[in-house]
Amino acid sequence: MSTETITDGLYPVLPLRDIIVFPHVVAPLFVGRDKSIAAVENAMSGNKKVFLTAQTDALVDTPYSGDLYKVGTLANILQLLKLPDGTIKILVEGIKRAQVEEWSQNNSFFEAHISLLPDEKGDDSETEALMRSVRDHFEN
């Protein structure tokens, strides 16, 4: 992950169907919708950051801002590959959870003002118990 400072701000939005990308996870994504391709191209011409959020209904082909969850993951685009059929494949790495504060008026692609969300700390005793259980299962 990059050492540059990540801040709240205006980022292109990539609506996702049937996948959620969490912070610190690297995932390949296939991008085919015109608005999504425009969002990726905008990110690549700038700081290579894009806000990933899931659609509320994966069957919707042309989502509007109301069809997208407001909480998602700010991600860094690591690689981009243009495919012969006009779609693109990108490799993204989730950076931090974020939330949409306001959708921007942009007809070419989704864009939103986002604010970064603090990391949530879990219960240490529960985490320790789960780690012991996984270790025991692994040993068996």
Q: Which domain holds residue 82?
A: 9-139
In a domain, 4, yes or no: no
Cα 90 from Cα 28, distance rounded (Å): 6
Tell me the CATH number at 101: 2.30.130.40
In a domain, 66, yes or no: yes
In a domain, 1, yes or no: no
Buried b (16+ CB within 10 A) or exposed e, 59-76: eeeebeeeebeeebbbbb
In a domain, 43, yes or no: yes
Structure tokens at 68: 């997208």
Per-residue confidence band for 121, with pLDDT thresholds at 50, 70 and 90: confident
In a domain, 28, yes or no: yes
In a domain, 3, yes or no: no
Whether the model clears a pTM of 0.75, i.e. scores above it, the answer is: yes
pLDDT for 49-97, tens place per residue? 999 999 999 999 999 999 999 999 999 999 999 999 999 999 999 999 9
pLDDT for 86-112, tens place per residue? 999 999 999 999 999 999 988 899 999
pLDDT of res. 4: 67
Number of domains into which the chain is organized: 1
Cα 54 from Cα 67, distance rounded (Å): 9
